[in-house]
Structure formats: C-alpha cells, structure tokens
Structure 1
Amino acid sequence: MRALVKTSAGPGLTAMTCPDPAAGPTDVIVKVTATSLCGTDAHIYNWDPWAHSRIHPPRIIGHEMCGEVVEIGRDVTRVKIGDYVAAESHITCGQCFQCRTGQAHVCRNYRILGVDRDGSFAEYIALPDNVLWNTSSSIPPEFASVQEPLGNAVDAALAEDLTGHTVLITGCGPTGLFSAAVARTAGAATIIATDVSDYRLGLAKQVGADYILNAKTETPAQIAAAIREITAGEGVDASLEMSGHPSALHQAFGAVKNGGRVTLFGIPTGPISFDLANEIIFKGIRVHGITGRRLFSTWYRLAGLFKAGLNIKPIVTHTFPMSDYARGFELINSGQCGKVVLFP
C-alpha cells in the first residue's frame, strides 16, 4: 500500500510503498476513505522538540480518519465487512484505575494512532475493533474523518450545559471553530470569538459566532472592554480557552463572571503565572482541563449533534489527494486554513 511515513528524525514525510497491515484476532483492516491533518501531525511533519522527544521513526502518522471495513479478525463481533467507520485515536489499556472508573480518556497507559503505532495516512490501517465508531452513511467522508477532533470540541464546549449562556472562545484554530459550531447547535445565547487571524475569525462568524475580536489589532484592555459592553458588564458564563497563549488564558479568566466556568484545551508552550486568588479563587470559577474526548459518551453526543444540524462545512476548508500532502502542511503552517482533509 501507499503511505506517508516519518522515516527519520527530521522535517517532512516520505511517500512510499509499505506492506499491507495484517489483522490480529481482535483487529480489523479499514480501507481509508479520508484522513484529516491535525496539529499533532504538523508537529511531527515540522519535527519540533515535542516530536523529537515523542516519535520513533519509522512511523506511518495520522490519526483522524474514516473508511470501510474490508477484513475482520476471527474474534471480532462489533463490526462487519462493509461497515463505514471512524476511529477513536486513543487505544486504552482497560486495566488502570482510570479505565476501570469511567475515565478512560485519561488512561495512564494509552497509545495513540500515528504516534505509538502506525496511523491513517495510508491506504489501509489495522485497528482494534473496540476503537471503531460506526458512522452514518449520510455523513460525507470529509466530515466523518474529523469526528475525532470534533469530539475534543464537544467535550470542551459541553463540559457543562451552555444552553442560553454567553460563551467566549479564545482561539479559532480548527478545534476552537468546532467549539463555536457545537455551542451554537447546543443553544448558546451569545458567542464571542477571539483570534489573531481575520481569516479564522471569518470562519468563526460562518459557524455561529455573534461577535469577533482580533487580538492582534486590539489590545487586551480593548477586548476586555468590548466583552463587558457585549455582556452589559456581567461577563461571560463560560470561557473556552482553545489557544494556549498566555494573554488568551488571562483573557478567558478575566472575562468570565463570578461563579462561571473556564474550559482549558489549548496547550501553553511553557509555564503560566496566575493570580490565583483574584483570577480564580475569589471569583469561584470552575475549571475543566480537557484532553481527548470522553470515551465513548462524547461520540454518542456528537452523533446527536449531527442529527440536530451541527454545521461544520465552513471549517473543512481544503481537500487534497494524499499525494499533495505537502500543500496541506503548508496551509497549516501558514494559518490560512480550517481543517485539511486528504483522500488516499
């Protein structure tokens, strides 16, 4: 099969022919229909310090995908040949405290597709049957392939109910944009989005943001004043921090009203200093740290959101054949895209 492989410690990927994967007793072989690019893939492609410390070439990368089951192991009963599936990228151990108490999303021993085992940037992929998600045939492949990162947004946005609430989203990368779409479908009253890119703020507007504020052209004080005006001085009910940038983190905590909640998904590049007393404790703020998706409750909720009319079409901005993968990574590095999807 053809696949994109991180063959050595350095930037880039290599398109090459690899052996077809084999199915173990509880594995399935999926013919990949579509696979989308993630920020994690960009880290590996660019070969930054995180990738250098985490990836051990050779490795077929990629973890967001959908496809058709073409072969099943002898003990597989959950799916059948011909099923249209997506996949949870975190393969959990099922044995640790977290797995056994309903917290498998923070399994102590999880392995990640495209990081710890070969991934989806290929014509075929072998997957444990317990990570497969049967997907409605009504969902086009370019949308079905992004259900995994969509789950991040569902978990971030709906960590608490936000129906009728005012929501601030700081950071309009793909997951931030997905969060805006989820919040709109879930009944948020007012959505405010901030980013440093007019392009991505335009996408936020298309998926439901009522107000957009550019953190590159407006100072933190100006943004804070605008949020106070929008909320009649009350502050927002919930802040979804999706960027990891220090100023955005402080903005998220500063904008939320007393007794509100802050969801943290963006990853800072280093330690962040906070005035815990005044920014969190005295305001009585609830803080949710988000990693991955809740398995598999978030997937079920996402299926319901699609039925309720969740609109992610504006966020999937580019599709390419897999042979043009370099164009996709160039777009991600430039920031002039939403979600990029490859077709093998």
Structure 2
Amino acid sequence: MRALWWQGDSKTLSYAENIEEPSVQKPDDVKIKVAFSGICGSDFHFMSNEMGKFSPKQDGVVLGHEFSGTVVEVGSNVGKFKVGDHVSIDPNACCGVCSWASRQTPHFCEKNEAIGVKRNGGWAEYCVVPDSSVYQLPPEVPLDAGALSEPYSCVLRGWKMMDKLPLKSSKVLIQGAGIIGSMFACLFYVNGYNNVTISEPHEGRRKTCSALGLGYDVIHPQELGLLMSGKDADSDGFDVIYDCTGNCKAVQTLESKCRPSMHRASSVWPATIELARRGAFISMFGCCPAGEKIEVEPFQIYWKELRITGSFINPFCFEEAVNLLKDLKGKELLNLDKLGVRVFDLKEYEEALKSLKTGTAAKVMFKLQ
C-alpha cells in the first residue's frame, strides 16, 4: 500500500508504495480505509526529536494521528461498527492499570501506544486500530471535516482547563491564527464571546482568520502594544490568553515589539504575562520543543494571581469533539477552505510540509480516497 514512512534513527520521511497492508489480527480490531489524514504541528516536533518521552517509534513507523476513513473490516468481537461506516480515530489510549488510570488522568499513561506515534497511523491507505479508538461520524459531517476530530478534541481539553468559564464580557487574546487558533476562535464564538483579539504575524493567516466572519479583531503582534498604549494591564489587560503558537521565539518577538514600559525582564514570556489582567487565565496550549526554556517574573504571577496551565492531548474529549463538528457544520464554521485547509496527495508530502511551515496553509491534509 501507499504510505509515508518515518525512519526515526535516520530522521528520514519517505513516500513508499510497497508498505505491507495491515490486516485484522485481534477480535477487537477495526480496519480503516483512510480518507483524510492531517499534519499536526506536533508531527514536526516528532520528526525533529523534540517531544521528549513522547517521541515516535525510532525503527520505522507510519505517522499521522489525525484521520478519518471508512470501515472495511472488523474483528469478531466488534459490534458497534460495520463495514461502510464513516469514522474518525482517537489515537491515544491508556493501559488501564497504571496509577494515572486510577487518578482519571489517562493521558499521562507512559504506556500509551499512540496511533501515528508509537504504532502505524494515518499517513497510509489503510490502518488497523482497536475498536475503542473508533468514533462514528454524524451523517452531517463529511470525511474531510471528520479528520478535524482529533485536533478539536485537543482544543476542547485546553478549553476545559479553564475550569470555570469567564464572563461573556471578558477580554480574550488568542496568539496564533493557524488552525488551532482559528478553532479556539470558533469555540469562543459559539459560546457567545464577543471581545476576542487574535494576534498573528503572517498576513495570509490573518486574512484567512478574518474571513471566518466571527467579527473578532485579527491583528499583527506589533499592534498589541498600540492596543495597550496608555492602559494599565492590571485592570485593562486580557482576562484569558491562549498561546497557540508553540514557538518561544515568536513570543519573544512579541515581547520585543510591545510597549517598552511592559519590560521588566528580557526574556520570552514577560509580554504575555504583562498583557494579562489580574486574575487572568493563561494557557500555554502550543507545543514548544522539549528543552527550550522561558523566563518569567514570579512576582507578576503572585501579584496578578495568574493561573498558567499547559494542555496535553485530549482525555475524555473525543466524543464531544465529534458532536461539536456537527454543531459547527450547522453554523457554517466547518468549511475547510475558509479555515485555510489545503489538501495534498501523499506523493506531494514535501510541498505539503513546506506549505505548513511557511504559513501558506493554516492546516494541511492528505487525501487518500
């Protein structure tokens, strides 16, 4: 079968047409004919060995953990799915017996044989997965949009990390207008938030995000300084900040171009903290490379009583994400062209990766059906 093969020990990604097609081996196996499979920002980190313990299988694996497809075969114990069903795949699974499982934090399980990371995934024509990882798509959700189930499940996890939703009048800042920033923007929109600012340096991505028609301000990071000019962030800053860039250097650039009075330290995160109002919630949602460091001024965290969190993958969020896609489709917020999604053939993987790196696409998918 056709697939993209990642050889971790030599750090090479290659297109192949002679990869062995997987078959159903276990009673709970489901064989999927992959329709659409996305490239995630974390895939770049996987291929650069920047994910710490979560690095992919080194002796060869098919990457791709965001995908949808059609069921073509099921194991003898599979009762929920039948041949012909349109489905999406949750790539993560807990062993079920570790301490993380008992603490209801399955995403911390270190035996997570994640599909498209530790075992073959969706950058291929076929993939075999356990039925517990399979979710049926609503009839209203097409297969291309279904491939957004996994990233939306991660976004929902980041959303739930707020714990308590802020007031509808709250000021919200989303840093980054790639697909994740746009997804957060859509989520704030459908939940009734009007005072949202999206910061993005790439002009094309700003235009794409603006074209979603949410009515939000989509600005260059340099404009944040002007936005806060003459204001005291303690009382007039942002109540909620999501950093969706996963790029420490990008945050450092933001800091260097904000108003000089905001600088109390010469590192990467002071600007984000300085933009926050007292009592604000800050999410470092974007995946920064393992080993990179930031500096913060602890006094500001104390003084503002900030809540700063990370967000790792998607525990207990996948089914909700699939249902969310249906709602977004009904509100015309699931148009892949408007979201800046570009679709490529597997053979075009080099161009696909380049378009995502350069920002000419907000999101990239491979079409395999």
TM-score, normalised with respect to structure 1: 0.88
Aligned-partner residue type, residue 71 of structure 1: E
Matched, 1:340 2:358: no
1:83 CA displacement: 1.7
Measured in 1, the distance between the counterparts of 2:365 and 2:350 equals 12
- The percent of aligned pairs where both chains have the same amino acid is 21
Q: State the match for 1:89 in structure 2.
A: 91
**Matched residue SS, 1:315:** coil
Give matches, 1:27-46, under 5 Å.
27-44=29-46
Residues 188 and 159 of structure 1, relative CA distance in 2, 3 Å threshold:
farther
Deviation at 1:305, TM superposition (A): 5.7
Structure 2 residue corresponding to 1:173, chosen from 170, 178, 191: 178
Aligned length in residues: 336
Which position in structure 1 is the counterpart of 2:285? 265
Post-superposition offset of 1:71: 1.0
Determine helix, strand or coil for the equivalent of 1:91: coil
SS of the aligned residue for 2:320 comes to: helix
| Preserved CA contact (<8 Å) 2:138 2:326 | no
Query: How far did residue 31 of structure 1 move?
Result: 0.8
Distance change >3 Å, CA 305–CA 256, structure 1 → 2:
farther
Instruction: Give CA deviations for 1:192-248 in whole Å, capped at 9, x if unaligned.
Output: 011221111222223336112212xx276445439x59x995222211111232435
Equivalent in the alignment of 1:275: 297
Give the secondary-structure state (helix, strand or coil) at the position aligned to 2:5. strand
**Residue 338 of structure 1 aligns to which amino acid in structure 2?**
A
Contact 1:241 1:266 in 2 (8 A): yes
Q: Match of 1:10?
A: 11
Q: 1:27, CA displacement in angstroms?
A: 1.2
Shift of residue 302 of structure 1? 5.0
Give the match for residue 329 of structure 1: 353
User: How far apart, CA to CA, are the structure 2 residues paired with 1:113 and 1:69?
Assistant: 16
Residue 9 of structure 1 aligns with an amino acid whose one-letter code is S
Matches within 5 A, 1:148-297: 148-160=150-162, 161-162=165-166, 164=168, 165-207=170-212, 208=214, 210-215=216-221, 218=222, 221-222=225-226, 224-225=228-229, 228=231, 234-244=236-246, 245=248, 246-247=251-252, 249-269=269-289, 270-278=292-300, 280-295=301-316, 297=317
Q: Match of 2:261? A: none
> Separation in 1 of the partners of 2:215 and 2:271?
17
Gaps of 5+ in 1: none
Moved more, 129-138 or 307-316: 307-316
Gap change, CA 1:43 and 1:287, over 3 Å in 2: closer
Matched residue, 1:311: 333
Q: Which moved more, 1:26-35 or 1:94-103?
A: 94-103
Decide whether aligned partners of structure 1 residues 233 and 342 sit closer, same or farther in structure 2, where only a CA change above 3 A counts.
Answer: same
- Which amino acid letter does the alignment assign opposite residue 16 of structure 2? A
CA positional deviation for 1:259: 1.4
The letter for the 2-side match of 1:157 is W
Cα deviation code 1:262-317 (max 9, x no counterpart): 11212334111111121x1221122231011122x353155146325261422242
Report SS of the residue matched to 1:42.
helix
Secondary structure of 1:178 counterpart: helix
Deviations 1:76-108 (A, max 9, x none): 233222221101111221112222332222323
Query: C-alpha deviations, 1:107-159, integer Å up to 9, x for none?
Result: 23212222210111111100011111111121122211111012222222343
Secondary structure (helix, strand or coil) at the match of 2:157 reads helix
- Answer whether contact 1:259 1:284 (CA < 8 A) is retained: yes
AA paired with 2:302?
A: I
- Aligned letter for 2:287? I
Aligned partners of 1:170 and 1:240 also within 8 Å: yes
CA distance in 1, matches of 2:318, 2:21: 32
Any gaps of 5 or more consecutive residues in structure 2? 255-268
The amino acid of 1:108's aligned partner reads E
Please say if 1:137 is aligned against 2:139. yes
CA 1:240 to 1:78, structure 2 compared with 1: closer, same or farther past 3 Å?
A: same
